[in-house]
Amino acid sequence: MKPSEDRFDDLAEGDSAELAHTITTADVDHFVELSGDRNPVHLDSLYAARAGLGTPVVHGMLTAAFVSTVLGTMLPGEGTLWLSQRLDFLVPVRVGDTVRIRATITRASPGTRVVVLRTEGRNQRDQLVMDGEARVRVLRLAAGA
Amino acid sequence: MKPSEDRFDDLAEGDSAELAHTITTADVDHFVELSGDRNPVHLDSLYAARAGLGTPVVHGMLTAAFVSTVLGTMLPGEGTLWLSQRLDFLVPVRVGDTVRIRATITRASPGTRVVVLRTEGRNQRDQLVMDGEARVRVLRLAAGA
């Protein structure tokens, strides 16, 4: 099928898209540089051990950044404006884990152009590490110049 | 008052902490590099205009990254483990905006060590740009070596 003029028309309940990313130490360093979040549970092996975590856990918001990427570049894709997000962090993610972030449309409302998606993150052992729901609006583009 | 041995004991309903950050083009570039989210609503002036946004809007998850920083370094501070977050993106944030992120404890449950906080973001015009709620656990530290 060729894409519609209005990308909203191409969206259907049940559609899904997935992105996989292996979290590196560089990712964590970049997130710390960006946010300033130096909470030692993410950075300090001794502290993480004393806190009962075993080893440091990746910032939840770093994993959640990839939800932005799925929504904004895959489904619904470009022209997506984020309205709200719920995030449940269920299982710690650690450096070296490969996280698959999947978004699945649960509702698309033509009247408001609002799309609701379930957003799930799973690790390489298929554990649900992050669950949630996104509400986005798919912007309508005026004719180009 | 000197801090308690267990930082949970220092937390009380109504306590709040705030961080201010002025969003730069470099922040947006770093977020794109980190996440891969090249949605043109954040990057392309012509696209943003055609989509009715006026000018590009900052990635919601970039603003939300500073919620992580408030929770993980200020209140409750180090040893905070994020359990869940709700985010409502209410007003677009743009490069050059100064966002104040405030977290206020609405409930602290000693039995579970879970703390619930309202998380608000306001711009330099005091508009509520982001609202939400965090649930975190304050980890108990074993005695140090």
- Supply the ipTM of this predicted assembly: 0.94
Q: CA of A141: how far to CAs of A49, A84, A126, A135, B126, in Å?
A: 51, 21, 38, 19, 30
Residue A47 is predicted with a pLDDT of 96
pLDDT tens digit string along B58-111? Answer: 999 999 999 999 999 999 999 999 999 999 999 999 999 999 999 999 999 999
Residue A3 is predicted with a pLDDT of 55
Residue B105: φ, ψ to 5°? -70, 125
Contact B41 A139 (CB under 8 A): yes
Q: CA of A60: how far to CAs of A53, A84, A115, A143, B29, in Å?
A: 14, 17, 24, 39, 20
Nearest CA to CA, how far is A124 from chain B (Å)?
A: 19
Nearest CA to CA, how far is A98 from chain B (Å)?
A: 14
pLDDT over 90, % of chain A: 92
Q: Which of A43-47, A86-90, A118-122, B3-7 has the lowest mean pLDDT?
A: B3-7
| B3 has a pLDDT exceeding 60 | no
The mean pLDDT of chain A is 95
Contact B66 A142 (CB under 8 A): no
Residue B7 is predicted with a pLDDT of 85
Contact A36 B69 (CB under 8 A): yes
| A143 has a pLDDT exceeding 90 | no
pLDDT tens digit string along B11-60? Answer: 999 999 999 999 999 999 999 999 999 999 999 999 999 999 999 999 99
| B4 has a pLDDT exceeding 80 | no
pLDDT tens digit string along A16-29? Answer: 999 999 999 999 99
User: A-chain residues within 8 Å CB-CB of B85?
Assistant: 60, 64, 85-87, 89
User: A-chain residues within 8 Å CB-CB of B88?
Assistant: 83-84
Nearest by CB to residue B30, choosing from A30, A72, A139, is: A30
Residue B113 is predicted with a pLDDT of 97
Contact B79 A39 (CB under 8 A): yes
User: B-chain residues within 8 Å CB-CB of A69?
Assistant: 35-37
User: B-chain residues within 8 Å CB-CB of A33?
Assistant: 30
Nearest by CB to residue B69, choosing from A35, A52, A81, is: A35
Exposure b/e, A61-78, CB count within 10 A at least 16 = b: bbbbbbbbbbbbbbbbbb
Residue B5 is predicted with a pLDDT of 73
**Residue B17 buriedness (CB in 10 A; 0-12 / 13-18 / 19+):** middle
